[in-house]
Structure 1
Amino acid sequence: MPDSGDAPRHARLRAGLAAALGAASPDDPTLCEGWEARHLAAHVLTRQRTPRINSPAFRDLADRAQDPEVYAGLVARVAAPPPRLSPHAWAGDLMNVTEFFVHAEDVRRGAGDVPSRPLDDDLVASLWRQLGVAGRLSYRRAAPGVLLVAPGVGRRRVSRPRRDAGTVVVTGEVGELVLHAFGRGRHAHVTVTGDAPDLVALDDVRPGPAR
């Protein structure tokens, strides 16, 4: 990730996402099903202006970005700060830290498995904090309870078991736990342990590494 000095955390992550997109070709695969790099770049840009995922502006940008020159310009716009009146301009870390981190990994891992990248302590702490809220939302439909374990960082129960279900333990570095919680578990470097029926039930909601 580029060194942005004392820039806010979300600005550093934006720079890292833009660098990942810039290193990719417009039609490179990503972890977002059906999206190539150009779709993801268009999503990041239009997200700053409208909450609609499949807006006409998004489709138009993604289509035009099949041209490498248009794509390069799109990536440059992703790298720039959002408009001053956009909520993303003042919400900063709250709206963007996890989003930018996950999407950078969507690009990095789109073509296959890659090693986890080292994260500084500040980013780890921020992702772990946000995972407390995001995890409860991500696993809310799971019948088994879910306990997230980040060795050297902490443990966080984000879901309690329903009915006669047990608890599944998901273990990994904080960034990998974030990827599992956000539906990228097939490509996350985590271990998922528990009784067989509970593992199957969780996999139906949040798939983990192929067993």
Structure 2
Amino acid sequence: MTWHETERAWLADTLRATPFDAPTLCAGWQARHLAAHLVLRERAPRAGVGAVGTAATRGPEAAVQRLAEDVDGPAAYAALVDAFAAPPARWSPLSWAGDAVNASEYFIHTEDLRRGAGPVPPRDLPDGLRDLLWRQLLRMAPVRLRRLGPGLVLVRPDDVRSAVHRARAGHGTVVARGDVGELVLAVSGRLQAADVRLEGAPADVAAVRELLTGP
């Protein structure tokens, strides 16, 4: 199996083990909203993509809300999870997007569920998945951090590091230390739930924390 297939299965199992009305790390969303987002992301991409954690566009957010409102109990929730657990249709762009689009997405949403009610031990990630997440993190981080004043250097426990954002004038550089999965969560805007240590001048650390902490 590819990593996105493995992570889809893990995410589906995590959804099944989570009550439909359980909180998640996505602001205002219960598990049923996250399941709705995942289904719409593959079956109606315009409605599902871009809605996570923000009302950036009213269409996606409204579509997720409508589908989630239909989930009024365990049976309806189980059906929605089963719909996500099945691979997307051939016509869906996500049917051929593979690891490049889905691996980090599924990993992050699994943690949205696992950590929604509070801290839990991190998953023990296989080396291959850890390496894939690291590569995808290095591509994601410059985009996510483009408005940040301080620079940011990511450092793994094995001391592999990468400068993912250059400091702007008047700012220093912050070092973020943590396991790869924790760094992925932090850069995706879930710093408050990630086991990551920030090092740097207090004002610069505060700026990084503000950008990377969800509402």
Match of 2:129 in 1: 123
Query: How far apart, in 1, do the equivalents of 2:158 and 2:194 lie?
Result: 18
Query: How far apart, in 2, do the equivalents of 1:8 and 1:38 lie?
Result: 26
RMSD value over aligned CA atoms?
1.3
Match of 2:16 in 1: 22
Query: Contact 1:144–1:161 (CA<8 Å) still a contact in 2?
Result: yes
Could you say what secondary structure the match of 2:175 adopts? strand
Query: How far apart, in 1, do the equivalents of 2:138 and 2:63 lie?
Result: 33
Query: How far apart, in 2, do the equivalents of 1:207 and 1:58 lie?
Result: 23
Match of 1:3 in 2: none
Q: Match of 2:174, as an amino acid?
A: V
Query: How far apart, in 1, do the equivalents of 2:61 and 2:155 lie?
Result: 38
Query: How far apart, in 2, do the equivalents of 1:69 and 1:93 lie?
Result: 30
Could you say what secondary structure the match of 2:45 adopts? coil
Query: Contact 1:138–1:182 (CA<8 Å) still a contact in 2?
Result: yes
The CA deviation string for residues 33-86 of structure 1, in whole angstroms up to 9 with x for no partner, is 000000000000101122333255433321111221010011111111011111
Match of 1:67 among 44, 49, 73: 73
Could you say what secondary structure the match of 2:46 adopts? coil
Structure 1: give runs of 5+ residues left out of the alignment. 1-6
Match of 2:148 in 1: 142
The CA deviation string for residues 144-200 of structure 1, in whole angstroms up to 9 with x for no partner, is 000000121610111000012000000000000000000010000110110011111
1:51 equivalent to 2:67? Answer no
How far off its partner does 1:115 sit? 0.7
- TM score, norm. by length of structure 2: 0.90
Query: How far apart, in 1, do the equivalents of 2:118 and 2:94 lie?
Result: 31
Match of 1:40 among 27, 34, 40: 34
Match of 2:56 in 1: none
Identify if the C-alpha distance between structure 1 residues 153 and 18 changes in structure 2 by more than 3 Å, giving closer, same or farther: farther
Size of the aligned set, in residue pairs, is 202
Query: Contact 1:30–1:110 (CA<8 Å) still a contact in 2?
Result: yes
Query: How far apart, in 2, do the equivalents of 1:139 and 1:56 lie?
Result: 27
Greater helix content = 2
Q: Match of 1:80, as an amino acid?
A: A
Q: Percent identity?
A: 46
Structure 2: give runs of 5+ residues left out of the alignment. 52-59
Match of 1:106 among 109, 112, 131: 112
Query: Which residues of 2 match residues 74-85 of structure 1 at below 5 A?
Result: 74-85=80-91
- Runs of 4+, deviation exceeding 2 Å: 51-60
- TM score, norm. by length of structure 1: 0.92
